Chains A and B, each alone.
Chain A
Amino acid sequence: MYNFFVNIGLYFTLLKGVFVKINKRKIYFSRTINEIEILGLSSLFIVMIVSLFMGAVVTIQTGIQFETPLLPIEYIGYVARESIVLEFAPTFISLILAGKIGSSIASEIGTMRVTEQIDALEVMGINAKSYIILPKIIACVFFFPVLVIISMLVGILGGLFAGSLTDLLSVQDFIQGLQMWPYPFHVFYALIKTVFFAFIISTVSAFFGFYAQGGALGVGKSSTKAVVVSCVVILIFNFILTQIMLG
């Protein structure tokens, strides 16, 4: 329990060190673009694949629940849309990204720690926390919503294909369902959640990497902890944000 509070304190101290006035903005900007490429663009493929099949499965499972003539078949499209937009795209994809990007951030920063690269920055008088972590946070916070929008679109497309390929419902019925009771706020809610999740993944993973100890083994442990803790914090914040915004 003592360690838990020490780590919370260290986490916020780290954040305080990250968000400081920066001088060489040009360097930070180019590092952020680089991080968007490393963390964001490289995740595009996995996000699209997961979303395509996720949308397909959600549609088929919804169809199974709707095997009653009392409910119009178009509702399948509506329910699939809502499930994907509200929960699957933002939360499920964020959990996937916590595994992929979280472990990447923690192991990269952890390796910098154990190979004394962070010490080298500090000896030069450069704020290592800000230089290393800030571009990653900005890249995640700005690019995760893009990934989630892509996930929503590909997920719906997957649902449409699955519905029509399995003769569950026609393309027209699915599209009609998609257009029922549009709630733009739900998209906004999903994107707000995503921004929070992006911040959680990048900062929690950076925290475990920054305080990694003990060589390669320590880096591996910090990477695992980063993913586990990020996932748990995402689930907790998913509950809190849902209650605040939709409850």
Chain B
Amino acid sequence: MIEVKNVFKNFSNNFSLENISCVFYPGKINMIIGESGSGKTTLLKSMIGLHSIDKGEILFEKSNYFDLDNSEKNILRREIGMLFQQGALFDFMTVLENVKFPLKMLANKTDQEIYERASFCLERVNLFKAKNMMPSELSGGMIKRVAIARAIAMNPRYLFCDEPNSGLDPNTAIIIDDLIKEITEEYNITTIINTHDMRSVVRIGSNIIYLSNGLLEWSGKKQEIKYSDSDSLNKFFNNSKIKI
């Protein structure tokens, strides 16, 4: 479980996160939704330490991330898998090398064990056949799937996904959504997805956090969205023309 408590973050361009508090549960798809520029990515990146925060706490199983020393942070980071918006695959490595990379750098495993784990992860996303391809040879959907394989290689407790469906056609988006959902439930991962794709929210979302202009406007279960008293959320949801 991850708990965000009273988080404040100000940028020099006047954008800020103001007093964000929310909880993300294990084995569930927790979604941060909101319009572009609402602070979703800032919150996500603050949670994984890519942005510092001005005030507040981010608790991973009761341990505040910002109270940890560097070695403790590195241990925690080994439990975090991250799926970046564009995949962020290392373009000088093959698909297999990309998935093997965190295992080679961080795990105390033999070469054979590393190969077996990486192969398993690639098979899990149905891409073992592409193991010798370079990232530049892959389609957008394949890049996301390899990124998922790399993110789960270390058996993470927490999986962060930054707009996993952006730039994908609807069918591929569904494949990626289903894959994330299956993995989350299979390994009881605390998954946090940052998106403005309401189709995705309706398909796989469990707990929803809605941000608007850096403020937490609403949080609750997916089914409760239609009873929300937030005008901004209702407008955002109605504009997507999707029904729960």
Interface residues of A (CB under 8 A from B): 24, 27, 111-112, 115-117, 119-120, 122-126, 131
Q: Are A116 and B90 in contact (CB under 8 A)?
A: no
The residue from A24, A27, A119, A125 contacting B50, defined by CB atoms under 8 A apart: A119
Asked whether any CB of chain A lies closer than 8 Å to the CB of B80, the reply is yes
Given contacts A123-B50, A125-B73, A125-B77, contact A117 B88 (CB under 8 A): yes
B64 to chain A: which residues have CB within 8 Å? Answer: none
A131 to chain B: which residues have CB within 8 Å? Answer: 105
Distance A115 CA – B85 CA, assembled complex (angstroms): 9
Q: Would you list 12 pairs from A and B whose C-beta atoms are within 8 A, ordered by A residue?
A: A111-B91, A112-B90, A116-B84, A117-B88, A119-B84, A120-B82, A120-B90, A122-B49, A123-B50, A123-B77, A123-B160, A125-B77
Chain B 69-84 against A: per-residue CB contact (8 Å), 1 yes, 0 no? 0000111111010101
CB closest chain-B residue, reference A114:
B86
B225 to chain A: which residues have CB within 8 Å? Answer: none
Q: Are B88 and A124 in contact (CB under 8 A)?
A: no
B74 to chain A: which residues have CB within 8 Å? Answer: 125
CB closest chain-A residue, reference B77:
A125
Main secondary structure of the interface of A (DSSP, over half): helix
Sample of 8 more A-B contacts, CB < 8 Å, known A117-B91, A119-B50, A123-B80:
A27-B105, A115-B88, A116-B85, A119-B82, A120-B84, A124-B106, A126-B106, A131-B105
Q: Are B104 and A124 in contact (CB under 8 A)?
A: no
Asked whether any CB of chain A lies closer than 8 Å to the CB of B48, the reply is yes
CB closest chain-A residue, reference B102:
A124
CB closest chain-B residue, reference A118:
B88
Distance A124 CA – B107 CA, assembled complex (angstroms): 11
B48 to chain A: which residues have CB within 8 Å? Answer: 123
Q: Are B88 and A119 in contact (CB under 8 A)?
A: yes
Q: Are B88 and A116 in contact (CB under 8 A)?
A: yes
Distance A119 CA – B106 CA, assembled complex (angstroms): 16
Interfacial residues of chain B within 127-177, with CB under 8 A of chain A in the complex: 154, 160
